[in-house]
Structure 1
Amino acid sequence: MVIIPSMTFNHKSLSYTIRSAVPDDARQMSKIRNRIDMETNYLDREPGEAFLDEIGFRKLIEQDTIKEKNLCLVAEVENRLVGFSRCEGTELKRLHHNIEFGVGVLRDYWGFGIGKHLLLQSIAWADNNNILKINLRVLETNIKAIHLYRRYGFNIEGLLKFDKRLSDGKFYNTIIMGRWKDDVS
């Protein structure tokens, strides 16, 4: 069972907790994922696409809790979820050493270190669970995220040219980044 201890952080007079997701978080997670999709172009989905309802999130959280290579974390402010992250691995032997990381935080809570702490908790969990590599994808225009990932040991490993077409009609590149456990610069 994958559960990390809750940790509370204070930044700019905001207090928030990072903790493992539990099935009872499913309703809030569905709502904030949909809202995050409306607030940013940085993710793969447009609002309403690949919608995951409460039942879908409940199943996802339950699976993430029992799969040793998965982790689902939430960020909570005054009993209200404001962001979450997921690490997803595979049981395929050739890929068993790595996971894919993704994160989303409501726009009202950007700038409080929530995304950073979701990332750091995920890195700590990975490092303690024989996960040698964390992979992620980030839109080329998400400069703050790219700098954050670099600060914590991620390197640019590739570029998917013209990968996403955003609402402005233009095509944008996706940067592939990875962090190898023993190669933290």
Structure 2
Amino acid sequence: MRENPIDLNIRNLSYVIRLAKEDDAKNLSEVRLQIDSETENMDREKGEAYIDEVGFRQLIKEDTESDHNLFLVCESNGRIVGFSRCEGNQLKRMSHKVEFGVCVLKDFWGYGIGTNFLKETIRWADTSNIKKITLNVLETNEKAIMLYKKYGFEEEGLLKMDKLLSDGNYYNTVIMGRFNNNSTN
């Protein structure tokens, strides 16, 4: 990741994408809790697998120290409105890949925040000897699936009846991956 924050202005919303800092931990805990209550696209319901300020401080510290992890935040008007993480694996057989996740407060959807997180993550991965980025996305999140495909992700599989949503129905999870253009099979 670039050391310098990326300043953006889309549809009259100014925001910055930057590396997470330990000082962001309290705000991140609150934002994650809110996001989990705003959409069923996440794995969790509000309050499940809660990460408090101490937990986020530890995540940020670990991610900052690891060459295989990336923790980005989006800040608008001094407030964190979304974040993304790539988490790698220290096991040698899987050290070439990372898993990407992203979440943005609903009021800030449609401003390119998720797209810019993705673009910065791809740039980081392609220059950090990461050969593959993986992600999971709910089958009903068609907008996200189209975005991922636009940036070179391919559908690799389907986890059938993977999530039970509030309507009482089970939904599939799409497994996607993107290979670094410089990697070989």
TM-score normalised per structure 1: 0.96
Q: Distance in 2 between matches of 1:43 and 1:141?
A: 12
1:35-86 CA distance string (max 9 Å, x none): 0000000010011100000010000000000011000000000110000000
Partner of 1:167: 166
Pairs aligned (count): 183
Partner of 2:88: 89
Contact 1:34/1:51 (8 A) holds in 2: yes
Cα distance, 1:4 vs structure 2: 3.6
Q: Distance in 2 between matches of 1:149 and 1:183?
A: 19
Give the unaligned 5+ runs of structure 1.
none
SS of 1:47's equivalent?
coil
Cα distance, 1:168 vs structure 2: 1.1
Q: Distance in 1 between matches of 2:88 and 2:49?
A: 20
Percent identity, aligned pairs only, is 56
Q: Distance in 2 between matches of 1:116 and 1:7?
A: 13
SS of 1:52's equivalent?
coil
Cα distance, 1:183 vs structure 2: 7.7
1:108-142 CA distance string (max 9 Å, x none): 00000000001111110010100010000000000
Partner of 2:101: 102
Partner of 1:146: 145
Q: Distance in 1 between matches of 2:73 and 2:100?
A: 14
Cα distance, 1:3 vs structure 2: 6.3
1:136-185 CA distance string (max 9 Å, x none): 0000000000000000000000000000001111000000000001189x
Q: Distance in 2 between matches of 1:178 and 1:141?
A: 18
Q: Distance in 1 between matches of 2:181 and 2:124?
A: 15
Partner of 1:35: 34
TM-score normalised per structure 2: 0.96
SS of 1:121's equivalent?
helix
Which runs of at least 4 in structure 1 moved beyond 2 Å after TM superposition? 2-5
Partner of 1:80: 79
Partner of 1:12: 11
SS of 1:72's equivalent?
strand
Give the unaligned 5+ runs of structure 2.
none
Q: Distance in 2 between matches of 1:4 and 1:68?
A: 14
SS of 2:18's equivalent?
strand
Partner of 1:64: 63
Partner of 2:113: 114
Please tell me whether residue 155 in structure 1 is matched to residue 134 in structure 2. no
SS of 1:87's equivalent?
strand
Q: Distance in 2 between matches of 1:141 and 1:7?
A: 31
Q: CA RMSD in A?
A: 1.3
Cα distance, 1:5 vs structure 2: 2.4
